[in-house]
Amino acid sequence: MTSEWGFSILDFGFAIERTTGDGQLTTASLSFHVARFTLCVLFIVGLGCVQAGDAPKPGETVTNSVGMRLAYIPAGEADMGSPGDEKGREDDEALHRVKLAKPFRIGVTEVTQAQWKAVMGQRRGEFEGDNLPVESVSWKDAVAFCEKLSKTEGKTYRLPTEAEWEYACRAGSAGRFSAADKLTDAAWYDDNGEEKTHPVAAKKPNAWGLYDMHGNVAEWCGDYYAPKYPAQAATDPTGPAEGTGRVVRGGSWSSFERGCRCASRSNVNQAHQMKTIGFRVVMELP
C-alpha cells in the first residue's frame, strides 16, 4: 500500500491529509477541529454582541396595534419633588429619592382621540380632532381603556404611577421643566393655549422623546393623591392604599406655568370628566 501526504485548506485552517493507495482519506486533521472551534467562538462572541445591542436605548420606541408609539424608559434612580427654592413650588413636593427597579415603556404622546376610538369604539372629547389628546375622560374611563387595550394585545397597559410619570417627565433632568428652557417651546399652557387642546407632539420633546409632559392635557396617574410623600427613599412607590382623589400631573392648556412643572401635583376626584384632563399609558415589560 502506498500513501501520499499533503496539505489542504479547510475553512480557516490547514489540514494534514494522508491518502492511501486506494484513494481514501484516512487521517482527519486537528486543524479542522481548531477551525470549527474558532467558528464556534466567533459565533458565541457575535451572539453576545447582538444580545447586548438588543437592549433598547432610553427613548427608543415601538409602535402598538393602534399606532401608539411607546418609549423605553430605563430602570434607575432620581430625585422626585422639588428643592425648597424652586419658583412656584408647593408644600406637597418634598424632595426625596425614588428608585424604579424595572424598565417600562410609556406613551410618547398623550392618548389621542383616534387611539381612543380605535380601542373603545367611539370618539370622546370636548374638542374634536383625531390627533388631539382625548379629554373629558374620568380616571375610571382611562383605566377601562388600559384594560381593553391589554386584553386586545395580550400585554399589560396601565396608568403610570406618579413616580413613573415624574421620572419619565424629568428624563434625567432636575429643573422646573425638562423639555426646553422656555416653557412656551415645550408646552401648550395658559400663555399660549388659546383655551383649547392642540395636536399632540407639536412642541419640543424631552430627552427621552416624550411630548407634552408639560401642558396640553394634564394626565391621570394611577395613585391616590397623598399630601405628603414618604420621608425616606422609596422603591417603586404606588401611593397610599386609599384616598379621596387621584394624582393628575403636568398641567394643561389652562394651567399657569407653575402648574406645568415636573414636580407639580394635582388632586382630582376620580369621577370627574374634565376638558383639561387626559392621560398616557405605561406598557409593562416582561
Binding region for Ca ion (CB under 5 A): 212, 216, 250
Q: How many CB atoms lie within 10 A of CB 236?
A: 13
* Least CB distance to Ca ion at residue 212 (A): 4
d(CA 188, CA 185): 9
Nearer to Ca ion, 35 or 280 (CB): 280
Q: Which is nearer to Ca ion, 201 or 283 (CB)?
A: 201
Q: What is the DSSP letter of 198?
A: -
What values do phi and psi take at 186, rounded to 5?
-115, -15
Cα angle, residue 151 at apex, residues 149 and 155 outer, rounded to 5°: 80
Least distance between Ca ion and beta carbon 55 (Å):
28
Nearest approach, Cβ of residue 134 and Ca ion (Å): 12
> Of 193 and 250, which has the nearer Cβ to Ca ion?
250
Q: Which residue has the cell 399589560?
A: 156
Q: Give start and end residues of each alpha helix (H) in the chain.
A: 30-54, 113-120, 139-153, 162-170, 183-186
Which residue lies nearer to Ca ion by CB, 212 or 223? 212
d(CA 173, CA 256) in angstroms, rounded, equals 21
> What is the distance between the alpha carbons of residues 133 and 144, in angstroms, rounded to a whole number?
17
**Nearest distance from C-beta of residue 250 to Ca ion, angstroms:** 4
Between 31 and 141, CB nearer to Ca ion: 141
Torsion of CA 38, 42, 44, 45, to 10 degrees: 130
Nearer to Ca ion, 250 or 259 (CB): 250
**152 versus 173: smaller Cβ distance to Ca ion:** 173
**136: closest CA among 283, 279, 282?**
279
**In the complex, least distance from residue 111 CB atom to Ca ion, rounded to whole angstroms:** 10
Angstrom CA distances, 151 to 104, 134, 158, 277, stand at: 18, 20, 12, 24
Nearest distance from C-beta of residue 200 to Ca ion, angstroms? 9
User: Shortest approach of Ca ion to residue 119 CB, angstroms?
Assistant: 19
Nearest to 103 by CA among 62, 79, 72, 80: 72
